[in-house]
Structure 1
Amino acid sequence: MVSLTVEASNGVCSIACFENRIVLAEKNFVCSNNLSAVILEEIDNCLKEANKKKTDLTEIISSEGPGSYTAIRVVAAVCKTLAYSLKIKLKKVSSLKLQALLEFDSNKLLVPFIDARRSNVFGAVYKNEDGKLVEVFEEGYYSLEEINNFLSLQDEEYVYISKDIAKLNDYLLDGSKNEEMVRAANIVKIYDSLEEIDCYNMKPQYLRKTEAERELENDKNK
């Protein structure tokens, strides 16, 4: 079983190739407006480093968001196209879950988030229960105050996990913080829980309307 995982929800593209849960190669790099121009080349580079070809792949694992609208659309389109053309399985994983995996072995509440501007974030709270990542605060679009209020009511330690911590640190509670970049290779930690989906029904999870949709809605309400 040769798998390829692709994630690029928050300014970092992470690609990993693994076989039977053993990571063979990974590529992690900062990307901004050039993702669509470099993602296919970086996938090829990752496979080359793993000594594999596209035809060796048996499944593709795509992050589905939330995060940057453009980035998660690019990732979904590339992964769907590869799975369809190679006639192999397509699986999906939340971008927030991938972030949470940076602290998977912790016994604290795991609080991944992605800056969504104006002190709002895409976020969730997870907990590792017997090796399974359990959602204890549903993935969604929240103010940091909403997440902090939830954490304040819990009688447990927690750790914020995000590359946006420095940017939003003034809005965070005191506690542990992890600013590492997401790593697609960590998917092997929750491999058994991944959901298979057909190429036609795989859609990015935005968790909120796009800015264009919101502006159109506001215009209609005027």
Structure 2
Amino acid sequence: MNYLLIDTSNQPLSVAVMQDDQVLSELNSNEKKNHSVQLMPAIIKVLQSAHVDKKDLDAIVVAEGPGSYTGLRIGVTVAKTLAYALNIKLYGVSSLKALAATVSKTNQLIVPIFDARREAVYAGVYYYDDNQLHCAMNDQYITIEALLNHLHDLQQSYIFVGEDSEKLQDLLDAEFIANLPQAKTMYSLIDTVPNDVYTFKPNYLKISEAERNWLNQQNKN
């Protein structure tokens, strides 16, 4: 089966084409450009490089969140549109779990984080067991202080992962790996049951600041 994998959950962009578990082509970028400008040209480029026509795709895999409101909306919208137009399967994968999967097998807990501002993060806690990645704390919006307290309670060594861990290192208390997302990691994380193209939505975990301001304004009226 041919898969197109898309991760636009944050500033980095990652797109890959795989044939079963073999990577045919991938593009990973951390350019400071809007994903609405980058994504479609990136998809065309990896498909051409893989010598795979879009009509030969069997499934789309997309990072469903959490992450950037705009990034998630663009990635999921493109993924749903392609899946619907091509009448193929659609799979959503946690963007934090996909980031955790960029770390090779380790005995430490893996803590992928995205900066959510105001000393808060989107974070999950994962661990390897029998070469499979498992969840020790569900993805959530959480203050860094609360996250550290939770990690201390687990009484296991841990490592943070993600480019935002470097930016936040003064607030963290363990080593970090500033990995960028790699869309190809999502292949091993897809569920056996595809998502419904019509009802599938990004997992924002927290409404955007623009939405919050609008709701506050409505409550005042």
TM value normalised by structure 2: 0.94
Which position in structure 2 is the counterpart of 1:211? 209
Residue 33 of structure 1 and its aligned partner are, at CA, apart by 4.3
Partner of 2:141: 141
Report the Cα distance in structure 2 between the residues aligned to 1:132 and 1:143, rounded to whole angstroms: 28
Cross-structure match for 2:164: 164
Check whether the contact 1:104–1:128 (CA below 8 A) recurs between aligned residues: no
TM normalised by structure 1 equals 0.93
Provide the identity percentage. Answer: 35
Q: Which residue identity lines up with residue 202 of structure 1 in the other structure?
A: F
Report SS of the residue matched to 1:166: helix
The correspondence for 2:199, drawn from 180, 185, 201, is 201
Partner of 2:81: 81
Pairwise CA RMSD of aligned residues? 1.6
Q: CA deviation at 1:176?
A: 2.6
Partner residue in 1 for 2:177: 178
In structure 1, C-alpha distance between the alignment counterparts of 2:125 and 2:76, rounded to whole Å? 24
1 CA distance for matches of 2:2 and 2:149? 42
Code of the aligned partner of 1:46 = V
**CA distance in structure 2 between the aligned counterparts of 1:69 and 1:194, rounded to whole angstroms:** 27
1:164 is paired with a residue whose SS is helix
Q: Deviations over 1:92-146 (max 9, x none)?
A: 1011011100114112111001001111111110111223322111111000111
CA contact (8 A) 1:127 1:134 kept: yes
Q: Give matches, 1:34-113, under 5 Å.
A: 34-113=34-113
Give the secondary-structure state (helix, strand or coil) at the position aligned to 1:14. strand
SS in 1 for 2:211: helix
CA positional deviation for 1:195:
4.7
Unaligned runs of 5+ in 1: none
Partners of 1:162 and 1:218 in 2: how far apart?
Answer: 32
**Aligned AA (1:150):** H
Answer yes or no: is 1:188 the counterpart of 2:192: no
The one-letter code matched in structure 1 to 2:41 is E
> Deviations 1:1-52 (Å, cap 9, x if unpaired)?
0001000112000001110111111000124442112211110100111111
The CA distance in 2 between the partners of 1:31 and 1:60, in whole Å, is 23
Task: Provide Cα deviations, 1:67-107, integer angstroms capped at 9, x if missing partner.
Answer: 11111000001000100000100011011011100114112
- In structure 2, what is the Cα distance between the partners aligned to 1:7 and 1:31? 14
Please say which of residues 125-134 and 82-91 is displaced more in the overlay: 125-134
Deviation of 1:149 (Å): 0.6
For residues 181 and 46 of structure 2, what CA distance do their matches in structure 1 show?
16
